[in-house]
Amino acid sequence: MVLGSGGVGKSALTVRYCCGTFVEKYDPTIEDFYRKDIEIDQNPITLEILDTAGTEQFVSMRDLYIQNGQGFLIVYSIANYHSLRDATSLKDTILNIKHLDEVPLVLAGNKKDLEDQREASTQEGRDLAKKWGCPFFETSAKEQTGVEEIFHSLVREMERIPCQTYRRRRAKRKKRLCVLL
């Protein structure tokens, strides 16, 4: 899943990666689904990428998709500091919805081509990713900088943290589980 605030470039990154083109015009997404066959580390993989809405009016749809998501690319704009703060809220939402402590995740600061409008420093992005224990990239869908790397890194994170080994949140009371066969 590709998540982030509205206007941070989620669709631009996804379309650039899947179709090789840059969409200049901003058209708010409700949801778009892409499929791409790739090879990473000599392994053939079919990616199914869900590009989500960044606006608040589609939160319930987003939450439903998060329940079924397996890997998460959280995007913010380096030219919008509020979108970096929103990224933290999104990560917390993912963990809460999935009732997990850890999921495959990559953080991307997009719009690197707008360096003269930068509001969020590279170090702030790095520090947040370090706190989360995930890879961090600065990208530009327009200049095709780091686009392939973010998706490939997410696949590697999904291999490193497979669904079966996601760390579950500990309940306040420990319950013992007995399985009878």
| pLDDT band at residue 88 under the 50/70/90 scheme | very high
Give the closest residue to 161 by CA, choosing from 134, 125, 136. 134
Specify the pLDDT at position 118: 97
| pLDDT band at residue 68 under the 50/70/90 scheme | confident
Name the percent of the chain lying above pLDDT 90: 64
| pLDDT band at residue 167 under the 50/70/90 scheme | low
- pTM here is 0.84
Q: Are strands 72-77 and 43-52 parallel, antiparallel or unpaired?
A: unpaired
Summary mean pLDDT of the chain: 85
Mean pLDDT of 44-69: 76
CATH number of the domain at 2-165, please?
Answer: 3.40.50.300
